[in-house]
């Protein structure tokens, strides 16, 4: 994966707003974060592992709607409800703009970087927590997603993420405060990435399950990657020996564009997706999402 180093080393500008707007001190976590919960009579803290499915797709990929349905089916499964977060990445030839029907441009720099760096050759295909990346077996066909989700969620989490979003509609300013708490002792470098996704975008989609010419002009695009609040590969969160209970808080400021390429976002359908990953393997150890308002 020859392109990784280029993106890994590119710095990004981190716009910080004063911690006093959100926290009394950057290294002391109090309200407004949610209190930790316990299960039943157990006095131990209950945390949940969540899994990220990154789906590579395109509005001219006629085989992609069933993949989107697979994600939806997994998400509404009572066994997994609330534990699966999806990001759909429109990049490559199937995502090209082709008038007069396919005029929406859903590309973004971050999605194009992932498409290139993870060497995506066809759609639909996905990554599930980027499992098996060091073995170059990280791109998983749709039929593999369910089994991987099951095996990943069977393991206790290594970290917990909480997100606090404040959105100011006039200036379109989003302030996101993220608390990351490590639940187990770890060693290594772990990074955090924040992405912006948008849900429920109605725009044409090729769908080979429909009669020819197989164009669904009222297709609802879900979990669509709009761009990065951080850079594609994020910021170092911790490095070295990590103790159970170690907690890091970061605050980010982001301006929601009026348009992404040629399509306008709806703030009421936008989410922040935050995930922590191992910088050595790119495997994601925890993920969370929250609507911006």
Q: What is the pLDDT of residues 170-187, one digit of tens each?
A: 999 999 999 999 999 999
- pLDDT score recorded for residue 254: 98
| Helical H segments across 123-239, by residue range | 142-153
Is 255 within the bounds of a domain? Answer: no
Predicted confidence (pLDDT) at residue 30 exceeds the cutoff of 60: no
Is 135 within the bounds of a domain? Answer: yes
- Between CA 68 and CA 17, with CA 292 as vertex, the angle to 5 degrees is 135
Q: What is the mean pLDDT of residues 43-56?
A: 86
pTM assigned to the model: 0.85
Domain with 134 in it: what CATH number? 3.40.30.10
Q: Report the distance separating Cα 285 and Cα 157, nearest Å.
A: 7
Q: What is the pLDDT of residues 201-241, one digit of tens each?
A: 999 999 999 999 999 999 999 999 999 999 999 999 999 99
Predicted confidence (pLDDT) at residue 267 exceeds the cutoff of 90: yes
Under DSSP, the state recorded for 246 is -
Is 231 within the bounds of a domain? Answer: yes
- Which SS3 state, helix, strand or coil, does residue 20 take? helix
Helix axis angle for 142-153 and 64-76, nearest 10°, is 20
Q: What is the pLDDT of residues 122-144, one digit of tens each?
A: 999 999 999 999 888 999 999 99
| Helical H segments across the chain, by residue range | 4-8, 64-76, 109-117, 142-153
Is 35 within the bounds of a domain? Answer: no
Is 245 within the bounds of a domain? Answer: no
Q: Report the distance separating Cα 110 and Cα 138, nearest Å.
A: 18
Segments forming the whole domain that contains residue 62: 4-13+48-157+193-235+264-291
What is the domain count for the chain?
1
| pLDDT band for position 4 (cuts 50, 70, 90) | very low
Is 39 within the bounds of a domain? Answer: no
Pairing status of strand 125-128 against strand 51-57: antiparallel
């Amino acid at each position: 994966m020859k392109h990784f180093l280029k993106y890994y080393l590119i710095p990004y500008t981190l716009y910080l707003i004063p911690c006093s707007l959100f926290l009394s001190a950057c290294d002391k976590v109090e309200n407004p974060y949610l209190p930790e919960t316990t299960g039943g009579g157990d006095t131990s803290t209950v945390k949940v592992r969540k899994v990220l499915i990154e789906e590579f797709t395109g509005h001219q990929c006629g085989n992609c709607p069933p993949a989107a349905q697979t994600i939806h089916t997994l998400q509404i499964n009572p066994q997994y409800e609330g534990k699966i977060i999806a990001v759909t990445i429109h990049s490559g030839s199937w995502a090209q703009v082709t008038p007069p029907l396919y005029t929406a441009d859903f590309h973004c720099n971050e999605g194009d970087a992932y498409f290139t760096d993870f060497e995506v050759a066809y759609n639909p295909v996905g990554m599930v927590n980027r499992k098996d990346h060091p073995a170059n077996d990280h791109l998983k066909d749709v039929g593999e997603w369910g089994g991987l989700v099951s095996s990943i969620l069977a393991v206790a989490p290594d970290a917990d993420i909480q997100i606090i979003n404040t959105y100011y509609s006039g200036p379109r300013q989003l302030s996101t405060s993220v608390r990351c708490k490590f639940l187990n002792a770890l060693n290594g470098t772990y990074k955090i990435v924040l992405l912006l996704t948008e849900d429920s975008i109605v725009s044409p989609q090729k769908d080979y399950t429909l009669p020819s010419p197989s164009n669904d002009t009222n297709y609802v695009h879900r979990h669509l990657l709009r761009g990065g609040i951080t850079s594609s590969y994020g910021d170092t969160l911790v490095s070295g020996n990590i103790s159970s209970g170690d907690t890091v808080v970061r605050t980010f400021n982001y301006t929601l564009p009026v348009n992404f390429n040629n399509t306008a976002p709806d703030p009421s359908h936008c989410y922040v997706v935050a995930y922590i990953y191992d910088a050595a393997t790119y495997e994601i150890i925890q993920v969370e999402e929250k609507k911006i308002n």
